[in-house]
Chains A and B, each alone.
Chain A
Amino acid sequence: MKRQTLTRQILNRRRFLSRATLIVSANLLPLPGYATGPYGPLLETISDPMEARRIGVTFLEQSDLGHDAAAVHRIISEKFGPLALLQDRQPEDCKALIAAQVQRDFDSGDCVKVDGWVLSKTEAMLFALAALHV
């Protein structure tokens, strides 16, 4: 019983983290099944799609992208290559791919500030994707 309570607390905390920053991390528990289509593999790595959507909307509003889905798709493709190649990837592979891209963004200073959160451009674009497709 006690173990269950503790586990619940930790899970709650993980959801808290994912709500707050939506980090695509092996430590976080994804909530799959909401996204289909070519962006499904990427979107399924996001822990809390509704919070991702909220941040994505804010990001789109503050950027020049507006609701230009084509522009978002183009940038995503530039970052991850042809989406068709993602279709057969396992979620863990997608997470690793995203994590590497996020690291490259931070290393090169390719970051944005959304609602005060300093995020990699890749993270922000994924949230923008969520805003358009979730």
Chain B
Amino acid sequence: MFIDALSDFSEEHLKGDICLIGAGAAGISIALEFANSDKKIILLESGGLEIEGDTQALYEGELIGRDYFPLDVTRLRFFGGSTNHWGGMVSPLLPMAFEKRAWVPLSGWPFGLQELDPYYHRASKVIELHDTNFEASWLEDQLAEERLPLSPAAFHSHLMRYSPPTRFGPTYHDHLRDAENITVVLNANVLELQANEAVDHLAQVKCGTLNGKAFTVAAEQFVLATGGLENPRMLLLSNRQQKNGLGNEHGLVGRYFMEHPQHSLGKIVPTVEGLGWSLYDGRRWRRKDGVRAAYQLMPSPEFQQSERVLSGNIEVFPNYGDWGEGLAGKSYKYVDLLGQYLRNYGIIGNKSYRSVFAIDRMVESCDVSISSEQAPNRESRILLSDEKDALGQNKAILDWRFTELDIQSLEKTTEALALQVGKTGIGRMQVDIQVGDWPASHHHMGTTRMSEDPRQGVVDTNCRLHGMDNFFIAGSSVFPTSGAVNPTMTIVALAIRLSDHLKGHMT
């Protein structure tokens, strides 16, 4: 059932078994797990079914650190959350992202990849992947074409798959509407998280609407799933019972903000023909059933360890030249598009496509960029501004920072890649590092980090807020380290894992 708190709603108090705050990838994934169960789920969403200017404006904030996107642009505040503008590139985190690395301060998740593996499989269905094959050879097998012959001890080609992308709002709207145990409350803004007197149990959340209505929601369990910028803001705003904010006894809430900053690294000019550069171009291959995939380059675990660097996701973006002048050049472009169509629909094989349409020979250069892992950094953080939003809530301030390790990793990785390109004889690379020129990936991570130790994390291994018995956080804000791959698949996997935990601990 859907109800709109702005119009068709006059309740002052709602009660459920589980209150989910935020209907983005994490919140909706948890709701789906409980659909048609005996648990009454209340899913609170600040926005409506479509984007509305005044609700989106509640995301406005200040920037005082590195250049970043405006805070009301980098995320979306309506049903489905930021999946409404998501690009769809997905991958599980790599094993090393979970490990403690001596050269990366505060690295190491409380568990390894094997813990998340079964949840990644379940997540793949939620994000509508056709299968869960992330073996690097998968795309080679699909296209009978080989990856770049770089030394695996230095760089490996990592397979990135694509969700359609799943727009969680439209995709799961009917499913949630038809589930008798789920109530989705639209235009319901959580204003305060209210704990019991001992502040070890969340009693209710106080909500308000932009037209002045107020109500509370009580539940046995609560999950905060409002994104990596808003999760810490909600905790910091709930400062009536604990002056530094809920769960902030050790001053960690909002700290350790990480992104995947994007940097141009330069260009590669191929010097031999017949190499599979186009396998690295996410634009070029889409199977007729919608399956898409592409390779990206990543520094190997051995390289990261020996050079003491962070990970990164290197995009090699082929430029196919100007196709010639006049009608002949234009015709060739359309002939190539026809070739792609014939290949993608399985009418001709990839080998025929490559030889007839000369795609490899047309790769004149490749732009190289990286989406970097950042080291956890206490000074990179979300704070509260004195300025208030339309609901009277303090706006967020983002103070985004880089560490020396972030920059050193970027430089060492780029130099190593340039050497590898020359060494393997596939081309030469012109290094031209432009730090943060995009500047980032709209991935908001680390601000309520996970650790068994309350002095090092806001939530425990089960994503439960330290010190509270019924309050959980979902989303990439719990990532202790970010790895280099896109976070959505991990967000959904963690949300499903949290659902299983709740199922096992509720009467």
Contacts and interface: CB of A to CB of B under 8 A. Distances in A.
B266 A116 contact: yes
A25 B422 contact: no
Contacts of B427: 21, 23
Interface in B321-352: 321, 323-324, 328-329, 332
B431 A118 contact: yes
Interface stretch (B14-22, B270-278, B442-450, B478-486): B270-278
Interface in A1-44: 2, 5-6, 8-10, 13, 16-17, 20-21, 23, 25, 27-28
Contact of A6 (B269, B358, B365, B432): B358
B419 A21 contact: no
Interface residues of A, number: 28
Contacts of B358: 6, 10
A12 to B, nearest CB: 8
B419 to A, nearest CB: 6
A27 B273 contact: yes
A113 B415 CA distance: 10
A64 interface: no
A88 interface: no
Contacts of B273: 27
Nearest to A107: B423
Given A6-B332, A17-B364, A111 B419 contact: yes
Interface string A96-119: 000000110011010101011111
Interface residue SS majority, chain B: mixed
Interface in B35-86: none
Give the 5 A-B residue pairs with the shortest CB-CB distance, closest first: A118-B418, A106-B423, A21-B428, A116-B430, A23-B271
Nearest to A25: B271
A120 interface: yes
B121 interface: no
B170 interface: no
Contacts of B419: 106, 109, 111, 118
Contact of B429 (A102, A103, A118): A118
Interface residues of B, number: 30
Contact of A13 (B328, B364, B422, B428): B364
A20 B364 CA distance: 10
Contact of A103 (B332, B415, B421, B425): B425
Given A10-B361, A106-B423, A118 B428 contact: yes
A123 to B, nearest CB: 8
B324 A119 contact: no
Contacts of A27: 271-273
9 contacts: A6-B332, A9-B321, A17-B270, A21-B428, A103-B425, A113-B431, A116-B266, A117-B428, A118-B415
A115 to B, nearest CB: 7
Given A6-B332, A115-B430, A21 B415 contact: no
Nearest to A9: B324
Contacts of B415: 118
Interface in B244-275: 266, 269-273
A127 to B, nearest CB: 12
A27 B430 CA distance: 20
Contact of A118 (B324, B361, B362, B422): B422
Nearest to A106: B423
A25 B429 CA distance: 16
Contact of B361 (A5, A13, A20, A116): A13
Contacts of B431: 113, 116-118
A119 B415 CA distance: 11
A21 B272 contact: no
A106 to B, nearest CB: 4
Contacts of A107: 423
A21 to B, nearest CB: 4
Contacts of A103: 423, 425
From B272, B362, B418, B423, name the one whose CB has the most chain A CB atoms within 10 angstroms: B423
B271 A117 contact: no
From A28, A116, A120, name the one whose CB has the most chain B CB atoms within 10 angstroms: A116
Contacts of A9: 321, 323-324, 329, 332
Given A25-B271, A119-B428, A20 B418 contact: no
Nearest to B415: A118
Nearest to B324: A9
Given A21-B427, A25-B272, A106-B422, 7 more contacts: A6-B332, A10-B358, A10-B361, A13-B364, A20-B269, A118-B422, A120-B422
A103 B328 CA distance: 39
Contacts of A118: 415, 418-419, 421-422, 428-431
A118 B329 CA distance: 32
Contacts of B428: 20-21, 23, 117-119
A119 B427 CA distance: 10
A106 B429 CA distance: 13
Contacts of A5: 324, 328
A2 B358 CA distance: 14
From A21, A111, A120, name the one whose CB has the most chain B CB atoms within 10 angstroms: A21
A16 B328 contact: no
B321 A13 contact: yes
Interface string A33-68: 000000000000000000000000000000000000
Contacts of A28: 271
A2 B328 contact: yes
Interface in B363-387: 364-365
Contacts of A25: 271-272
B365 to A, nearest CB: 7
